[in-house]
Structures are given as structure tokens and as C-alpha cells.
Structure 1
Amino acid sequence: MKKYQILIRLIKYLLFIGVLILILNTVFSFFTINYSHSFPTGLYFNRNFEDIEQGKLYIFCPEYDEKMKFAEQNGFWGNISKSCGKTPKYLKKALGLPFDKILITDDGVFVNNELIANTKIILKNKAYNKNKEFILKSDEYFMLSDYNKHSYDSRYFGIIKKYQVKKEVVPLIIFK
């Protein structure tokens, strides 16, 4: 009789752990924990969006190309998991929207002739195009961090297409 009680108790514990894992997976798919240097460390709420708005934070998955390969080889991702196939998810602000004029200089990124804070070019590599000026197309976005000048963002990897943007994120608990 004691063996059956132990077995039943073990099955209950396993069921409880399984249900707990399912609940946590569901709950935490609504949240992002940011520990990168691009924005303050903290807990962010993920939500769906209709339109991408200037100045709001978004999670997106860039294409794995030569610029992303460069980032990977030079340790720009750190220990971040590759949750978008070959690249990690990125968390940046949408600071350049469709039909905005973008100018990249050594002094930083200008959006519609306005210099964006903390975007002075630091990393000069093949991903960076000095004095590059262009107009974003209808489905293109320029994603930047105006929080940390060392962020690996659209200054280096270029534009992001709307289909690459996965969620809008809103800060809930921030640790500065």
C-alpha cells in the first residue's frame, strides 16, 4: 500500500510541475526581461501593435547577414540566446519611420535633420556607412538606442522591415 501512495504522490508532483511550466511559459511569453545595455535593465510587457510609432520600443528579429555575422563574431551579442533563428531578439526604439530622411555621420544619426542623442558613430566597420543619406520606404524602420551610445543598432546593421518587428514593449519595472 505504501508503494502506491508514493507513486500517486510522485504523479501528483509531476502533474503539478507540468502545469506550472505551462502556466509560466504562457505568462512569460507576455514579458521580456532586458539585461542588455541598450535600455535599462528591467521587466517589460510585450503587446501586439497595429502601427509602429516613433519613440516606442519594439522587439524585432533582424536578418542574419554579413552585418549580423560581424556582430556575432565580435561578441556584440554576449550570452544572449539566439531566439530568432540565427540572431537574438533586439529591443530598440523606432526612431526612423517610413518616408523619414536618415543621415548617418560621424556625429551621429539625423532623422529629418534632427540629431538623435547618443548615436555618435563609435564602431567603424564595414557595417557603418559614413555620410550615408536615404529616405525610408513604406515598410522600413530605423531602430536605435538613444539610451546607450554603444548600442549595436540600425547605425550598423541598417533598416528593419515591418515584418521583422514582433512586439511593442512597455517598461514595467526598471532598474537603473
Structure 2
Amino acid sequence: MKKYFIVVGLMLIATVIMYGVGIRINFSHSYPPGIYLVSKAHVYERNDLVLFCPPNNAAIHTAKARDYIRSGRCDSSTVPMIKRIVGLAGERVEFTPTILINGVALTDSERLITDSQHRPLTQLPNFMIPENSFFAYSDHAPKTSFDSRYFGAVPMTNIIGHIAPLYIF
């Protein structure tokens, strides 16, 4: 029994150390499940893959209630998300059959009207990305990912850091 507590204690210490150096485990389907490394940056740009807390809005609360996203430590009471920055402040987002950012279509970006259980999804109007915000998109699983198509722009201050895969399961 004593060995059990020692092993559990060592595993807990190792987990805290790994978290402290930026190691995260992804179990979502928006990006491949695996072990990722988070690193801070002073500037975040288009095409950066980032870990961020989703905005604290009604669409996120609905997503949490429907189990699209788990509970966690973000202000929205959810876990952070991994997505790619595809639009920046001042750019126009249009919802046509495909999503357009300043008139340029995102690959496979059709917005769904309902989820897999036929419940309605948020249908945002066209908008301009606000100052100090970005449009988040999953280029790994674009057809089924829950991203800015449904919850809108994300404040840059919600970014935890760049994220890069270390080991994919």
C-alpha cells in the first residue's frame, strides 16, 4: 500500500512539472489527439496554431451543455481549444456556402445548420473582426469542428500560447 501512494505521488509530481513546462494532452477531435507543447509569444499571426480559452458567450454555454466542449478552467467554464488563426482584427467574415475572410474562401468551411442530433447551431451574421481579436478555425476537421463559425471572434487576450504536436496517438 505504501508503494502505491509513492507511485501515485510521483505521477502527480510528474504531471505538475509537465504542465508547468507547457505539456498538454489533447483528446478533442478538432486536432489529432496527442501530446502538445504550448509556448508563449509576443505576437500571434494568421496561420498560427494556438491554444486559447473560448469567449464567454451564449454559443459556448450551449456547446458546453450539449457536450461539444468539456468543463474547465477558462472564464467560460470550459477547457481551452486548439484552433488556427485564420482572420484578424479589421477583416470581414462572410457566411456564404463557404466562409469568406476578406473575400477569400476557407477550405471545407461550410457552416452547419444543425448538429449531429438535429439541434440548431448558432447562425452568426456577417461581421467585422473586432480590434485585438481573431477568427479561430479547425483546418484539421473543418466539417465538424466547433469554431468561430458558431461562437464568433475571440479576444487575443484569450490566447494561452502557440501549440505544437510532440506525439500524436
The TM-score, its normalising length taken from structure 1, stands at 0.79
Does 2:45 align with 1:50? no
Give % identity: 25
**Larger-gyration structure (1/2):** 1
Name the CA shift for 1:44/1:134 in 2 (closer, same or farther; >3 Å).
same
Q: Does 1:84 align with 2:74?
A: yes
Amino acid at match of 1:110: L
| Structure 1 spans left out of the alignment, 5+ residues | 1-9
Indicate the RMSD between aligned Cα atoms, in angstroms: 2.4
Moved over 4 A (4+): 10-20
1:137 aligns with 2:118: no
108, 119, 122: which is aligned to 2:112?
Answer: 122
Q: Which residue of 2 aligns with 1:174?
A: 168
How far is the alpha carbon of 1:11 from its aligned partner?
8.7
The offset of 1:138, in angstroms, is: 2.5
How many residue pairs match? The answer is 161
Deviations along 1:132-168, one digit per CA (max 9) or x if unpaired, are 3322233010001122111111000111001111111
Contact 1:119–1:145 (8 Å) recurs in 2 = no
Matched residue type, 2:81: Y
Gaps of 5+ in 2: 115-119
Of 18, 25, 29, the residue aligned with 1:27 is: 18
**Quick check: 1:82–1:89 contact (8 Å CA) kept in 2?**
yes
What TM-score does the superposition give when structure 2 sets the normalisation length?
0.82
Which AA in structure 2 matches 1:166?
Answer: I
